[in-house]
Chains A and B, each alone.
Chain A
Amino acid sequence: MLTRLILDHLWIIPLLPLLGSAINGLLGGKWPKTIVNWVALGATGLSFASALEAVREFLGPNAQALVHNHYFNWISAGKFTAGFDLQLDQLTVVMLLVVTGVGFLIHIYSTGYMAHEGGYYRFFSYLNLFMFFMLILVLAANYVLLFVGWEGVGLCSYLLIGFYFLKKSASDAGKKAFIVNRIGDFGFMLGMFLLFRTFGTLDFKGVFDAAASSPWANVQEPWGQFGTFTIACLLLFMGATGKSAQLPLYVWLPDAMEGPTPVSALIHAATMVTAGVYVVARSHSLFAHSETALVVVAVIGCATAFFAATIGLVQTDIKRVLAYSTVSQLGYMFLACGVGAFSAGIFHLMTHAFFKALLFLAAGSVIHAMGGEQDMRHMGGLSKKIKYTYWTMLIATLAIAGIPPLAGFFSKDSILLSAFQKEGGHPLYAIGLLTALLTSFYMFRLIFLTFHGKQRYDEHHVHVHESPWSMLGPLVILAVLSIIGGWLAAPALWGGPDYFTSFLAPIFGSPEAAGAVSEAAAHQLEIILAVVAVVSALIGLAVAFWLYLRQPGKPEQIAKSLQPVYNTLLNKYYVDEFYAAVVIKPLMWLSTEVLWKIVDVAGIDGTVNGIATGAKDIGDVVRHTQSGNTRSYAVWVVIGALVIIAVIFFWPASGPAIGMVR
């Protein structure tokens, strides 16, 4: 019965965090931390509980396909209506559980991590607000409401990145994230407008139904057909590249590491950045009509995955390595979507949420232990001192590197398999595999630099201590999830039923459409690819082990001998500098020299001031008529009378018009 109640009133799930945010934000300033904790955790926990309760509807044998509730009309103008409609289907269920579940764990963690920080209530208010917007995003039943959540998480991201707003770099990073996201949102909005123009609605169901029955629906040219679908999909994808930090709009994500670590874990790894993947997956029936758009998605995803992984190789800040790794993994998800394996993409989204949240939280625990130090060059040998953190982080690293049987192995493997099976997807597969090797290398580099080898910090200054259980608890839970999370979608080959794919089948359709290859051959291929993937991961591990533990001086030698390459990577391919030169500088010049000095000062101010000065000047001249001398007034009266008489007499048409003189 409770399930029914929640399904009928889906708004409860997002409303709870909103209430928590409002209460903490408005009243929390004067409350002790315990009460703030209770409010924030209570709101998120209850939201998670209701999500769990609602999800039960989808698990039974007579599982429902879609819950769609219309609550009220939000915008109504002419033909356009956008309702406050929430919907729940299998895709949303996955997102809902990830957002509320991982979000709840990170809330718990934050109570420990933020315990000694100022603005405690503000932090939790923002976190809850973020949960609210993210839930709106995943529960929305039309693009407009989705966009509300979309912008909302962008706002919260800005607020939380700039949480330490007294620090210049933090507030700059917040602004950067916000502005870069705006560029993507611009595309997203154009995409929405185009969809509305084409289909006359923005409801998911309406758009997808109209798309399926539109006259162009069956036109499928591999590389051509720059039609409405392609443009609409590319515009939506542009929004996704902004939010999900893909080339060329990924630049904000690494800088977002200025925020507190739980924020990095929640927003910039587990939930918000996956919104782009979610939108692409949600619009899969649009993308399915445009081969071109899919190819673009796949290529961008693949390129981003590789590009970010190479930068991750040389970064020394522990959180930055993870940030680039996030960008890289998001690239994998888009690669999956691009080759049509939406369910694999969403699966990777879920497992990535587990192990990347874990990685960030563990990194936060390391930073906590080191008293704020983030540079891996000043760590080393921590494995004995912070055992729990070490083991959980090691599990997450194994998971992300794709070592079986951890979560990352299954999800990454299914993506690579889909890329391989895709027609013309072999280059994508090759790059994906190489990226997997790089991933394994830089993650183990992180582990070895941080936890193994010689101690490279001053024991007298740094008092290394294990974090409290409020922080370790979430780590352990996430570690368990990182281990078992992948088993949900163990391919048939590994003896497990593929729960995940069949769960999502109502949305994405059955994956076994390509039945051309025989079962046995497909299995053989899967085994071969899996072995290749594991071997490449192990190579990455081995190289990292050899370079950073066996030959500690070696990395520097290599860096020296490959100085240009190393510097390029260290400086992130100079992309920020490139953007600064190509976009920011010209914009600044345009703003300063043209918009400010010419348009604003000369044009707008000039007009306004000119009118005022003109009135004043005229007044200066005219005021002399007001001499105060009565006789001069008399003269004026006489002159006026004479003028009127003259007009009456000599103006051709005026005589009859005035009607006096005849």
Chain B
Amino acid sequence: MVPTSYYLILSAVLFGLGVVAFVFKRNVITIFMSIELMLNAVNLAFVAFSQARHQSDGQVFVLFVIVVAAAEAAVGLGIIILTARNRQSLNVERVDLLKL
């Protein structure tokens, strides 16, 4: 049986990759994917804990996260498509109108 700590380390690594990609990438789609990566890293941790402690709460929570992620994907992709149409670009550096 694989020890829980392995899962957690994998989860942490995935999450860290997600954070790094989230901060450093410029392509909106990549950023979006890095968010998904972080979500799923968290999911992995949830499931690992759930299995280790023999409780189902973690798995229930994972289902919630998946639902939210799906909804988020729908909205997020919609926004991305519109931005891409307006600016002919997927570079977030150029989406900077929200400032004083």
Contacts and interface: CB of A to CB of B under 8 A. Distances in A.
Interface of A: 623, 626-631, 634-635, 638
Contact of B96 (A628, A634, A638): A628
Nearest to A620: B100
Contacts of B98: 626, 628
A444 B100 CA distance: 86
B100 A631 contact: no
Contact of A631 (B26, B97, B99): B26
B93 A635 contact: no
Nearest to A642: B19
The 7 A-B pairs at the shortest CB distance, nearest first, are namely A628-B99, A628-B96, A630-B92, A628-B98, A623-B100, A629-B96, A626-B99
B46 to A, nearest CB: 13
A630 B100 contact: no
B99 A638 contact: no
A136 B13 CA distance: 92
B99 to A, nearest CB: 3
B21 to A, nearest CB: 10
Given A626-B98, A628-B98, A634 B22 contact: yes
Interface residues of B, number: 13
Interface in B60-100: 92-93, 95-100
Contacts of B99: 626-629
Contacts of B2: none
A638 to B, nearest CB: 6
Nearest to B34: A634
A630 B96 contact: yes
15 contacts: A623-B100, A626-B98, A626-B100, A628-B96, A628-B97, A628-B99, A629-B92, A629-B93, A629-B99, A631-B92, A631-B93, A634-B22, A634-B23, A638-B22, A638-B23
Contacts of B26: 631
Contacts of A628: 96-99
Nearest to B35: A634
Contacts of B95: 630
A471 B96 CA distance: 88
Interface in B1-22: 19, 22
A634 B95 CA distance: 13
A634 B31 contact: yes
A105 B92 CA distance: 93
Contact of A635 (B23, B96, B97): B23
Contacts of B22: 634, 638
A630 B99 CA distance: 10
Nearest to B99: A628
A159 to B, nearest CB: 56
A378 to B, nearest CB: 77
A404 to B, nearest CB: 94
A638 B21 CA distance: 12
A660 to B, nearest CB: 12
B92 to A, nearest CB: 4
Given A634-B31, A638-B22, A638-B23, 9 more contacts: A623-B100, A626-B98, A628-B96, A628-B98, A629-B93, A629-B96, A630-B92, A630-B96, A631-B23
Contacts of A631: 23, 26, 92-93
Residue in B22, B98, B100 with the greatest tally of chain A CB atoms within 10 Å: B100
A44 B85 CA distance: 88
Residue in A623, A629, A635 with the greatest tally of chain B CB atoms within 10 Å: A629
Residue in A629, A631, A638 with the greatest tally of chain B CB atoms within 10 Å: A631
Nearest to A630: B92
B68 to A, nearest CB: 17
Contacts of A623: 100
Contacts of A626: 98-100
